[in-house]
Amino acid sequence: MLKYILKKEFLLIFRNIHALLVLFVMPSVFIIIMSLALKNTYSNSIDIKFEVLLTSENKNKDIQDLLKKLKDNNFFNITYSKEVSNKKDILYSKNYDFLIQMPSTYLKDIQKNKDINVNIYSSPDLSIQNINLLKSLLSSNISKQLIKNLLIQLDVNTQETKDFNNSIKHHYISKENSFKITSVQQSVPAWLIFSMFFILIPISNTFINEKNFGTLSRIKSINVSMLPILFGKIIPYYLINLFQVLFMILIGIYLMPILGADSLQIKGNILLIFLLSSVVSLAAISFALVIANIAKKSEDATTIGGISNIILAALGGIMVPKFIMPQSMQEISELSPMSWALDSFLELFVNGGTFIDIKEYIFKLTLFAIICFIISYVLLIKKGSK
């Protein structure tokens, strides 16, 4: 009997071409968009630098030296102008991101222990991180000028002094081979998880239609238990989920480099990736069966399922990387099964982790899948007895 139930499910799936396209096209588009949008977040430079105008009463030697040092950075394009009166015109009409007002006597004033006022202006939409980055760049280069002047007074050859900032190098270390995380390695596992949970929509729609058209009642009338009916739903969509994982990984490896992003690198064991994909798939399908049994109409299932998936994705670091979230939100995100799945995939993709590293997440996802399956089974039995 299970063979015929499976045959029915596969026929229903392949007749619903639009649902299949949504399951594969939508997450593929998200992977492309988010990988390219977040590219600079994971890079040590940006494609389009912030435009900065530094103003001062006169361009003396100290200002010229400071400008030269400031221009040696990966994030800001620094230009000079004399004092300006209309700050709004600079920021909005001339499209500068920052305006710095610098007193030309700043070094002498510092050396005489006088207070100096360096003012930075920007539009309200610039992030505090970028503002602090500019302040740090400005502060560090003024400090270098002060140190250089001090060394000259001490009769030390400043040509032989080293720039220790260039001597400090950062290295990423994964559990196998060293390489840095990229936006592609964040986006591919994130959106393939979202697509796996999005399978809720076609599952619930076919399940509700079968209930409304009396298909389930006719199957039960020939003494078929509920378990084959549920397994008949799980197996086809489980296979689709696995194919989704393969499809998204191939996009990350082969398509993203063509579009100008980094290529997806996978350091984890293939069998572990298969195991994790299977557990995430079963968790997603079991959750979908719960929604399908709760909802009375396809519209209800689409609404409840869509909203719940979006909330779980938002909390779980799918839409916004968790490292960007404040600490309180990171703690709340641990309640989302999508967060468990994402942390597991990142552990395998980025760190080359082992089963020991993801066993806690595997346990949580398995427990979530079992609980959801039991709930859906009880609901189906309860409705079948009415």
DSSP 139-197: HHHHHHHHHHHHHHHTT--GGG---HHHH-------SSS-----HHHHHHHHHHHHHHH
Q: Which two tokens mark 320? A: 């916004």
Residue 386: pLDDT over 50: no
For residues 320 and 188, which has the higher predicted lDDT (pLDDT)?
188
Q: Are residues 161 and 195 in the same domain?
A: no
CA distance 288 to 303: 13
Q: What pLDDT is recorded for position 165? A: 56
CA distance 337 to 369: 10
Q: Are residues 208 and 343 in the same domain?
A: yes
Q: 223 lies in a domain? A: yes
Q: What pLDDT is recorded for position 215? A: 61
As beta bridge partners, residue 122 has: 98
Instruction: Compute the average pLDDT of residues 130-147.
Output: 85
The residue among 120, 147, 167 that closes a domain is 167
Q: Are residues 127 and 181 in the same domain?
A: no
Tens-digit pLDDT profile for residues 323-362? 778 888 888 888 999 999 999 998 888 777 888 989 999 9
Q: Is 327 left (phi over 0), alpha (psi -120 to 50) or beta?
A: alpha
Q: 94 lies in a domain? A: yes
- 61, 106 contact by CB (below 8 A): no
Q: Are residues 226 and 354 in the same domain?
A: yes
Tens-digit pLDDT profile for residues 162-190? 555 555 565 555 555 545 567 788 888 88
Q: Are residues 129 and 234 in the same domain?
A: no
CA distance 316 to 63: 48
Q: 123 lies in a domain? A: yes
Q: What pLDDT is recorded for position 287? A: 93
Q: Are residues 118 and 201 in the same domain?
A: no
Q: 358 lies in a domain? A: yes
Q: Are residues 136 and 273 in the same domain?
A: no
Q: Are residues 104 and 249 in the same domain?
A: no
Could you give the percent of the chain with pLDDT greater than 70?
79
Q: 206 lies in a domain? A: yes
Q: Which of 78-82, 174-178, 254-258, 302-306 has the lowest mean pLDDT?
A: 174-178
Q: What pLDDT is recorded for position 71? A: 84
The residue among 110, 142, 167 that closes a domain is 167
Tens-digit pLDDT profile for residues 351-371? 778 889 899 999 999 999 999
Q: What is the DSSP string of 254-317?
A: IIHHHTTSPPP---S-HHHHHHHHHHHHHHHHHHHHHHHHH-SSHHHHHHHHHHHHHHHHHHTT
Q: Are residues 63 and 80 in the same domain?
A: yes
Q: Are residues 218 and 300 in the same domain?
A: yes
Q: What pLDDT is recorded for position 231? A: 77
From the CB of residue 146, how many other CB atoms can be counted at a distance below 10 Å? 14
CATH of the domain at 126: 3.40.190.10
Give the CA angle between residues 192, 198, 201 to the nearest 5°.
160
The residue among 122, 148, 167 that closes a domain is 167
Q: 248 lies in a domain? A: yes
Q: Are residues 8 and 72 in the same domain?
A: no
Domain count, the chain: 2
Tens-digit pLDDT profile for residues 24-80? 888 888 888 877 877 766 655 556 788 999 988 888 888 888 888 888 887 888 999
Beta 76-82 vs 50-56: how paired, if at all? parallel
pTM for this model (two decimals): 0.69
With CA atoms as reference, report the closest residue to 362 among 340, 347, 383, 379.
340
From the CB of residue 280, how many other CB atoms can be counted at a distance below 10 Å? 29
CA distance 104 to 312: 54
Q: Are residues 226 and 327 in the same domain?
A: yes
Q: Is 194 left (phi over 0), alpha (psi -120 to 50) or beta?
A: alpha
Q: 351 lies in a domain? A: yes
Q: 42 lies in a domain? A: no
Q: What is each CA distance from 40 to 21, 35, 44, 134, in whole angstroms?
A: 30, 10, 7, 17
- 254, 25 contact by CB (below 8 A): no
As beta bridge partners, residue 119 has: 101
| Domain limits for position 74 | 47-167
